Chains A and B, each alone.
Chain A
Amino acid sequence: MKPGDVILKIDGHTVSSDGTIPLENEAVPLDEVVERKFKGEKVKLDILRNGKPSSLIVPLNAPWPFKLQSHLYDEKPRFVVFGGLVFQPADQNFMEAYDPSDQRLNYLFDYFVSDEIHLARPEIVVLSNILPDPVNAYAEEFRFSVVDEVNGHPIKTLADIVKAFDEQSDYYVIQFAGGGRPIVLERKAVDEARPRILERYAVTSEKNLEK
């Protein structure tokens, strides 16, 4: 489909100019046809494009990226802890739990689908929490900032940041969206801090990548 296409019929139901269809003697929004189907089924659309009628078959697949903005149940939060910094991908559950006031994060989340942010950034990886320790003493101002790069590697998913932290390096340079000052963590300092942070904050696992 393209912007500017006119939907004439959905699965044979004539669509009115206000976007409703007659169903069981009632005018209901055309979404109803889709909502009554299951994942993997198909829907047929009769359309008018540039004045010419044609029809399309649309397979109903997984609803990503819309899923990011919907409530999720029975999913474990995913996270990574590095140098006392907790990174999480933002989704509806995350936004409700933290209610962050960061303007950039709010924009990226609200317009994730409509501004096609998901194409360049399938996940919004956020510095969600800081377990205070001397190694991260100057990180507080970055809470709820969105991670862009670690050591020059673009961070598009939580898996990317795990990979970047697994790489051996003297410095880990975490650059946030907007290009302000980076957080720099020295490998040595991170290694020294690790047992201390795990014990002090009773961290049982440094990462969870499974839903």
Chain B
Amino acid sequence: MKAISLQRILWVALFFSCPLWAASAIENTAPGASDESLSQSLLRVNSTNQVYEFFQPWIKKPPFSRRGIGALLDGGRILVTAELVANSTFIEIEKPAGTKKSSAVVERIDYTCNLAVLRPVDSAFLEGMKPLDLNGPLRVGDEATVLQLEPNGDIARTLGLITSISVGSYPAESGLFLLFKLGAPLQQRDGSFTLPAIHKGRLIGMVMRYDLRNQSADIVPTAVIRHFLEGIDSPAYRGFGRLGISFAPLRDPQLRRFIGLQESGGIYVTDLAPRGPASIAGIKKRDVILAVDGLPIDQDGNYEDPEYGRILFSHLTNTIKYPGDVLPFKILRDGKVLEIPVTIQAADREDSIIDEHLFDEPPKYVILGGLVFMELSRPYLKEWGAKWTSNAPQRLVYYDAFQNELPADRGRIVILSQVLPTSDTIGYQDLDNIVVTKLNGKPVKSLADLSEAAKQPVDGFQKIEFEEDPKFLILDAASIEAHAETLKEHYAIPSLERL
């Protein structure tokens, strides 16, 4: 009896699975989906990257290489993650099969969205290749396939399911963007996880990170890719906007009653970047944001997106809208409802006190008699390793974390990074990572200020003042001058200044 019923179940199962199998076979023969056709849209990308040694800013660290797979798009653009080619010194592209290689250059890179577009140096290199089309929005539960390449050029497909669609942090940590998570058991094949993901033969995004333990891939979706590409196509690259706002959810009913918040929803503004768009528009700490562009914001900061459902409103302001767009904000302040128009702007480095990242550029420094001065930056702090927030000097970490609270005219934070022992710096070798306030009586708000002030010693001395002990120190200007060449020679420093 038992055997018969099992057989019956098997038959039923086979019967039902047949049409499905047939359907998927048809799908695979759809244009752009076959292995042969897909491999005409993929390129291996090998990037040699080299970053500066922030504790010896005149040298670079040893080079390392990253490999990933780029997706060919319309217009001969090869899409990769920005991380793959960050600080690149040489980029090489290669077709999946065959041995043809070409070097490539970065046409445009944007670290905020972690995307870059490459172009082969040899324009004929892409002949006969087919660009991939971009797919529309997906939903949680949809299937997607991550593409990798075998050494022989065959495509290795890994099928997965979209497990979440949210707005989250990207590697550059500047702004929140739409993020797909794909559950898929990826193998480490190409040295990095810069890999295209497709759905029915169309690109749905680029994998940028992979969590081996949870078998979950983070994907930059087409919504973000489209914004990036449209930015490139406009006369001046527009980039991604940001508001310069931090907020807290308004879930606590006691807080809601205290504020006098009748409606549901709303978020509480906790911090503003001093020169950010929201601050310039007149939004203040302790305001409650009720709606953006006419769309109600719920108590967690989500709005109803027509394509992706309830997601963080940063997707609207950072990705759907462009820098220059004006969005009305509905605000509750002191019991009154106001409407404040906010002009979205791309992040401007000049507005920040501390650089969040320094990709593709050397760090600035000035060396005076063996004292090494630098501007405080996040990459500098990250030299203390993964636990830099605990291990780096706490004053510098504090400046980085709470830079919004510094006075508006604070300028850059110039530090004495270290002291190279020389005859001019005897007794000062143990000083490091202290904040400079003045040189020769002139306020130091950038390395350029410091370099300028060093040209005018007072009574033959360079007097450097600090925020903390030893409050100040004094060097003999003529002696520094006389020893400059020896210092360069002994420590193999090509130049005592790079601004």
Distance (whole angstroms) from the CB of B286 to the closest CB of chain A: 8
- In chain A, positions 1-22 with a C-beta closer than 8 Å to chain B are 3-4, 17-18
Q: Is the beta-carbon distance between A182 and B255 smaller than 8 angstroms?
A: yes
CB within 8 Å of A: which B284-303 residues: 285-286
Which residue on A lies nearest to B465, using beta carbons?
A: A3
Among A110, A111, A115, A182: residue with most chain B CB under 10 A: A182
Q: Which of B248, B254, B471 contacts A180 (CB 8 A)?
A: B248
- Say whether A103 contacts B271, CB under 8 Å: no
Whole-angstrom distance from the CB of A20 to the nearest CB of chain B?
13
Partner pick for A178 among B268, B395, B405, B469, CB 8 A cutoff: B405
Tell me which of B248, B270, B286, B469 contacts A114 (CB under 8 A): B469
Number of A-B contacts (CB under 8 A): 72
Do A180 and B258 touch (CB < 8 A)?
Answer: no
Task: Give the segment of A23-31, A183-191, A195-203 that binds chain B.
Answer: A183-191
- Provide the residues of chain B in CB contact with A184, threshold 8 Å: 252, 254-255, 257-258
Shortest Cβ distance from residue A189 to the other chain B in the assembled complex, whole angstroms: 7
Looking at chain A, what size class is its interface with the partner chain? 20 to 34
A76 vs chain B, min Cβ distance (A)? 29
CB-contact partner of B401 in A3, A103, A110, under 8 A: A103
A189 contacts which chain B residues (CB < 8 A)?
A: 254
Residue of B whose beta carbon sits closest to that of A110: B394
Chain A's nearest CB lies how many Å from the CB of B77?
Answer: 41
Known contacts A3-B472, A184-B255; is-contact A111 B395 (Cβ 8 Å):
yes
B481 CB-CB contact with A under 8 Å: no
Q: Does A106 contact B (CB under 8 A)?
A: yes
Instruction: Tell me, yes or no, whether A153 is within 8 Å of chain B by CB.
Output: no
Query: How far, in angstroms, from A106 to B402 measured CA to CA in the complex?
Result: 13
Q: Is B270 in contact with A179, judged by CB distance below 8 angstroms?
A: yes
1/0 per residue, CB under 8 A from A, across B269-285: the answer is: 01100000000000001
Q: By the criterion CB–CB under 8 Å, are B258 and A101 in contact?
A: no
Distance A103 CA – B387 CA, assembled complex (angstroms): 13
| Chain B residues whose C-beta falls within 8 Å of the C-beta of A185 in the assembled complex | 254
In the complex, the answer to whether A179 meets B472 with C-beta atoms within 8 Å is no
In the assembled complex, the Cα of A111 lies from the Cα of B395 at a distance in Å of 8
A115 adjacent to B468 (CB under 8 Å): yes
Are A180 and B271 in contact (CB-based, < 8 A)? yes
**How far is it, in angstroms, between the C-alpha of A164 and the C-alpha of B396 when the chains are bound?**
34
A173 at the interface (CB under 8 A from B): yes
Instruction: Kindly state whether residue A44 has any CB partner on chain B within 8 Å.
Output: no
What is the distance, in angstroms, from A5's C-beta to the closest C-beta of chain B? 11
Write out the residue numbers on chain A whose beta carbons fall within 8 Å of the beta carbon of B251.
138
Q: Check A104–B472 contact: CB distance below 8 A.
A: no
CB pair A111 B402 closer than 8 Å = no
Is the beta-carbon distance between A138 and B252 smaller than 8 angstroms?
A: yes
Contact residues, B363-377 vs A (CB, 8 A): none
Q: Is B65 located at the chain interface by the 8 A CB criterion? A: no
Cβ contact of A103, chosen from B254, B257, B398, B427, cutoff 8 A:
B398
Bound complex: CA A186 to CA B258 (Å): 9
Instruction: Give the residues from 222 to 257 in chain B that come closer than 8 angstroms, CB to CB, to chain A.
Output: 246, 248, 250-252, 254-255, 257
Contacts of B248 in A (CB 8 A): 180-181
A183 and B471 CA atoms in complex are apart in Å by: 39
**Whole-angstrom distance from the CB of B195 to the nearest CB of chain A?**
35
A4–B251 CA distance with the chains assembled, in angstroms: 54
CA distance A19 to B256 in the complex (A): 59
Closest partner residue, chain A, to B247 (CB atom): A181
- Residue A171 lies at the interface, judged by CB distance under 8 Å to chain B: yes
Q: Which residue of A lies closest to B251 (CB)?
A: A138
When the two chains form their complex, are residues B402 and A178 in contact, meaning their CB atoms are under 8 A apart? Answer: yes
Report whether A186 and B254 are in contact in the complex, using a CB–CB cutoff of 8 Å.
yes
* Nearest chain B residue, comparing its CB with the CB of A103: B401
Residues of A within 8 A of B257 (CB): 184, 186
Contact of A38 with B by CB under 8 A: no
Interface residue B163 (Cβ < 8 Å from any Cβ of A): no
Report B-chain residues with C-beta under 8 Å of the C-beta of A180.
246, 248, 270-271
Chain A contacts with B in 23-74, Cβ cutoff 8 A: none
Interface residues of A (CB under 8 A from B): 3-4, 17-18, 101, 103-104, 106-107, 110-111, 114-115, 135, 137-138, 171, 173, 178-186, 189
A-B contact pairs, 25 of them (CB 8 A): A3-B471, A3-B472, A17-B427, A18-B427, A103-B398, A103-B401, A103-B402, A104-B401, A106-B394, A107-B394, A107-B398, A115-B395, A115-B468, A138-B255, A178-B402, A179-B271, A179-B286, A180-B246, A181-B255, A181-B268, A181-B270, A183-B252, A184-B257, A184-B258, A186-B258
Please report B residues at the A interface, Cβ cutoff 8 Å: 246, 248, 250-252, 254-255, 257-258, 268, 270-271, 285-286, 389-390, 394-395, 397-398, 401-402, 405, 427, 467-469, 471-472
Given contacts A110-B394, A180-B270, 16 further A-B contacts (CB under 8 A): A103-B389, A103-B397, A103-B402, A106-B394, A115-B468, A138-B252, A171-B258, A178-B271, A178-B405, A181-B255, A181-B268, A182-B255, A183-B255, A184-B254, A184-B255, A186-B257
